[in-house]
């Protein structure tokens, strides 16, 4: 019996695939390879298809044959892009989830771990966000993730799907040097790219109501994300496994300036940043309350900021865009 990982050729998905394989599971990866890299999936079976393409439903159902559970990571995740292309984000993220659930129901695959996002919270007032607050996403990316969560809930009610929604905070780092984040879309790779260009890192706004004026986020190591998915799969095998959403974070906030300073410490480089205007839509603080996952799944993040940044640096320097001495 296998476990299916959609998006398993991507940054986060490849870490989940590698842990599953090392735990002895057979793994089927479904990925359209628009961002993923086939070499990342190792010995797992790779089925290349676009989940959002309804014409692919027969192949999708065939790919799920013999699977006992799905970890659904595939999706578009760029906030800025979602604002410019909302319909495409709904087609990809919501349409892809709908097709996946249709195929799972047809194949009696009734366990699903869904890669959701802290983006469903929008700009909450709380210093630490609990899963049960009202959800007001502020961009089409976060909206598409919230609708995905509703689809999981509705499938649980309609045909008994056992699902959990995993709300990622800011994922970074690399579990292995060959699995670094290939996209330059988030703070740490964006800082490293500037250093590779011989430029100064950028700080988008330093007039926020935070201790050093820069935005605060909950940075979580990608290998902690992957281990949280392993325990979520075990949770779905329990007798009692009520449908739930879980924050995956550390519960600790780190500012942009602190992250950049840590890059300087681990790299030994001059990382003095240049301050630019605020980026629209950035909440000042977004940090997860992680009591529920710690108590329910007995899981806790094990990697600190230094480990995150050091692993990002090592993976970056092992790749083609390394910072030259």
Which of these segments, 21-29, 66-74, 201-209, 239-247, binds ligand WQD (CB under 6 A)? 201-209
The burial class, CB within 10 Å (0-12 / 13-18 / 19+), for 225 is buried
Instruction: Quote the tokens at residue 141.
Output: 């990316």
Q: Is 256 in the site for ligand WQD (CB under 6 A)?
A: yes
Give the nearer residue to ligand WQD in terms of CB position, either 30 or 119. 119
Sequence-ordered strand ranges (E) for the chain:
2-6, 26-31, 45-48, 67-72, 111-117, 128-129, 162-168, 170-172, 202-204, 216-217, 219-221, 244-248, 254-255, 274-276, 285-288
Question: Shortest gap between Cβ of 93 and ligand WQD (angstroms)?
Answer: 11
Q: Is 118 in the site for ligand WQD (CB under 6 A)?
A: yes
Question: Shortest gap between Cβ of 220 and ligand WQD (angstroms)?
Answer: 9
Instruction: Determine which residue in the list 40, 77, 128, 229 makes contact with ligand WQD, applying CB under 6 A.
Output: 77
Which of these segments, 54-62, 183-191, 241-249, 307-315, binds ligand WQD (CB under 6 A)? 183-191
Name every residue whose Cβ is closer than 8 Å to that of residue 246 and which is 6 or more positions away in sequence: 131, 164, 165, 166, 167, 228, 232, 292, 293, 296, 297
Q: Is 279 in the site for ligand WQD (CB under 6 A)?
A: yes
Q: Is 119 in the site for ligand WQD (CB under 6 A)?
A: yes
Pairing relationship of beta strands 67-72 and 2-6 according to DSSP bridges: parallel
Q: Are 111 and 162 in contact (CB under 8 A)?
A: yes
Give the separation between CA 260 and CA 219, rounded to whole angstroms: 13
Q: Is 79 in the site for ligand WQD (CB under 6 A)?
A: yes
Residue 221, SS3? strand
Q: Hey, which residues are catalytic here?
A: 141
Question: Shortest gap between Cβ of 23 and ligand WQD (angstroms)?
Answer: 24
Give the nearer residue to ligand WQD in terms of CB position, either 121 or 235. 121
* Subset of 35-74 contacting ligand WQD (CB under 6 A): none
* Subset of 163-182 contacting ligand WQD (CB under 6 A): 168, 170-171
Give the nearer residue to ligand WQD in terms of CB position, either 239 or 270. 270
Which of these segments, 3-11, 56-64, 157-165, 185-193, binds ligand WQD (CB under 6 A)? 185-193
* Subset of 210-229 contacting ligand WQD (CB under 6 A): 215, 217
Instruction: Quote the tokens at residue 57.
Output: 């439903």
Q: Is 255 in the site for ligand WQD (CB under 6 A)?
A: no
Instruction: Quote the tokens at residue 162.
Output: 């056992």
Q: Is 113 in the site for ligand WQD (CB under 6 A)?
A: no
Instruction: Determine which residue in the list 190, 231, 236, 266 makes contact with ligand WQD, applying CB under 6 A.
Output: 190
Name every residue whose Cβ is closer than 8 Å to that of residue 150 and which is 6 or more positions away in sequence: none
Q: Are 315 and 194 in contact (CB under 8 A)?
A: no
Give the nearer residue to ligand WQD in terms of CB position, either 59 or 202. 202
Closest CA to 131 of 7, 294, 311: 294
Q: 246 pairs with which residues across the strands?
A: 166
Which of these segments, 53-61, 202-210, 229-237, 292-300, binds ligand WQD (CB under 6 A)? 202-210
Give the separation between CA 28 and CA 40, rounded to whole angstroms: 13
Footprint of ligand WQD (CB under 6 A): 77, 79, 117-119, 168, 170-171, 186-187, 190-191, 202-204, 215, 217, 256, 279, 282
């Amino acid at each position: 019996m296998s476990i299916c990982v959609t998006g398993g050729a991507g940054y986060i998905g490849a870490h989940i695939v590698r842990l599953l394989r090392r735990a002895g599971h057979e793994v089927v990866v479904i990925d359209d390879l628009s961002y993923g890299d086939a070499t990342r999936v190792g010995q797992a079976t790779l089925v290349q298809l676009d989940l959002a393409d309804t014409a692919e439903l027969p192949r999708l159902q065939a790919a799920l044959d013999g699977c006992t559970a799905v970890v659904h990571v595939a999706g578009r995740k760029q906030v800025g892009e979602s604002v410019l292309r909302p319909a495409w984000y709904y087609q990809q993220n919501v349409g892809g989830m709908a097709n996946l659930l249709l195929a799972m129901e047809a194949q009696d695959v009734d366990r699903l771990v869904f890669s959701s996002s802290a983006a469903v919270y929008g700009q909450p007032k709380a210093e630490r966000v609990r899963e049960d607050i009202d959800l007001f996403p502020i961009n089409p990316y976060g909206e598409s993730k919230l609708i995905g969560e509703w689809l999981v809930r509705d499938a649980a009610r309609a045909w008994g799907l056992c699902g959990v929604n995993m709300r990622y905070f800011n994922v970074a780092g690399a579990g292995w040097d060959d699995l670094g984040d290939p996209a330059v879309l988030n703070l740490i790779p964006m800082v490293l790219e500037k250093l590779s260009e011989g430029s100064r890192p950028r700080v988008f706004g330093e007039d926020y109501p935070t201790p050093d004026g820069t935005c605060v986020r909950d940075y979580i190591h990608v290998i902690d994300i992957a281990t949280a998915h392993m325990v979520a799969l075990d949770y779905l095998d329990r007798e009692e496994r009520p449908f739930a959403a879980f924050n995956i974070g550390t519960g600790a906030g780190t500012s942009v300036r602190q992250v950049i300073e840590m890059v300087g410490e681990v790299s030994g480089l001059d990382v003095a940043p240049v301050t630019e205007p605020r980026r629209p839509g950035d909440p000042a603080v977004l940090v997860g309350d992680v009591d529920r996952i710690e108590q329910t799944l007995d899981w806790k993040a094990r990697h600190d900021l230094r480990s995150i940044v050091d692993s990002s640096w090592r993976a970056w320097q092992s790749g083609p865009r390394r910072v030259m001495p």
